[in-house]
Amino acid sequence: MGYYFVKDGNPMEICNYQTEVSTNADQVLFSSKLIFLKTNKLWKEQIVLDKNTLKPISRKSERETRNFDIKYANINKGDYFDIATYPLVLCALPLNIGYKATIPVIDYDSPNKDKIQNVNITDVKSNIYNSELTGEHQVWKVSVNEESTGNIYDYFIDKTSRKIYKITVSSKGNNLMLVDKETDFNPFKNKFDKEATLKMLTKGNSVISGEAFAKDDRSGKDNSKIRIDVLNVNKKQFAPKGTKVILFPYNEYFKEWMELNKRQKKIKGAKPIPLSIDAQLCVLTTEIYNDKGNFEFTNLAEGDYFVSVSFGYTDTFSRREITGTSDIYVNGQYAGTQLNTDIFDYAQTGDANFQKIVTIKSNGDTVKIKLKRW
């Protein structure tokens, strides 16, 4: 989770909080790391819990200012939870609107190390959490106060999965926030084969040679007024020299990635799904190398490829417009009215985004393509 200090509503990330929960026979092992981003500080915790009750058995804690390794049976023989692991209990409770409960805990960092103190659930309400990756989630907003610290927490817990997406903290006048970065999110069904993909991109003798340009059709309506262009000065608006062109193999993994992002656009609040690190290394880029929009990809093997380019352009055109009217007289007699017209030059900017699926049938082929709009 990202750990943020919040001032005037603006979050600033200060730490990275990592947790891992595993099981071993009749025990649960809870491990955590708090990594401070601007220093070398690292806080580590390892807590062993009873698998059936989540009651703490032992805890080993390492910080730069103090270390301890304790057995809870030697501290207090009552029934309680460790203050660091009670969020696991929150997620297991039968939460509902207005739910309240008291959770007994031991806080070994408090002045009363051996005393059972309470974590109080003061309120539960329905809420919505918007994830940049997975969109909108129906959650329980669980409000909690800790007797040992005086801190007030709001936990945002998914109603279905019971995953904690966000925690807000009010502590001694400071506002903090923890947000799940969803590093475990992997919507892909197809496994990416880096070795086979790199082979397609580097072990062949084929070439894709292309030209990228735009040309607007400017006849018809413009701002709801009928007009006809006299002249479109720039017949082709070539992609500027230096424009990036991208290429990647059109295999099942990349097809799935494109399809996932089509769906992602329909999810409220969701951002695009990135490629895996290995897949990103298999996306080739080249540049338009002249003023005619030309580019090349070399060393390609046979197969299907996706080629894409985006660029801005300026389209220059002229049109005839009515500038007024004149009365016509013949031998002093009124004969009618004529329209006065003139030709005006215009320049209009546009954005071009072109994609094309290209097939190389045999190794050694040169395939010529045009990325264009007419």
Q: Is 156 exposed, middle or buried (0-12, 13-18, 19+ CB in 10 A)?
A: buried
**213-230 per-position pLDDT tens digit:** 887 554 444 443 333 333
In angstroms, the CA 266 to CA 351 distance is 23
**97-141 per-position pLDDT tens digit:** 999 999 999 999 888 888 899 999 999 999 999 998 888 899 999
At 271 the pLDDT is 81
CB contact at 8 A, 167 and 156? yes
Q: Which residue type does 281 have?
A: L
Neighbours of 151 (CB within 10 A): 16
For residue 83, give Cα distances in angstroms to 46, 71, 121: 13, 15, 14
Q: What residues pair up with 156 in beta bridges, in sequence order?
A: 141, 166
Prediction pTM value: 0.65
At 143 the pLDDT is 98
Pairing, β 81-82 against β 101-106? parallel
Q: Is 7 exposed, middle or buried (0-12, 13-18, 19+ CB in 10 A)?
A: exposed
Name residues whose C-beta falls within 8 Å of residue 225's C-beta, 6 or more positions apart in sequence: none
CB contact at 8 A, 206 and 364? yes
At 111 the pLDDT is 87
Neighbours of 168 (CB within 10 A): 18
Neighbours of 326 (CB within 10 A): 10
Compute the half-sphere exposure of residue 127: CA atoms within 13 Å on the CB side of its CA: 20
Name residues whose C-beta falls within 8 Å of residue 242's C-beta, 6 or more positions apart in sequence: 287, 288
In angstroms, the CA 130 to CA 158 distance is 11
At 280 the pLDDT is 92
At 278 the pLDDT is 92
97: nearest Cα among 126, 127, 137, 138: 126
Mean pLDDT, consecutive 10-residue stretches, the chain (374 aa), reads 94 95 94 92 95 94 92 90 95 97 93 90 97 90 96 97 97 95 88 95 94 66 39 65 92 94 83 87 92 94 93 55 53 48 52 86 94 66
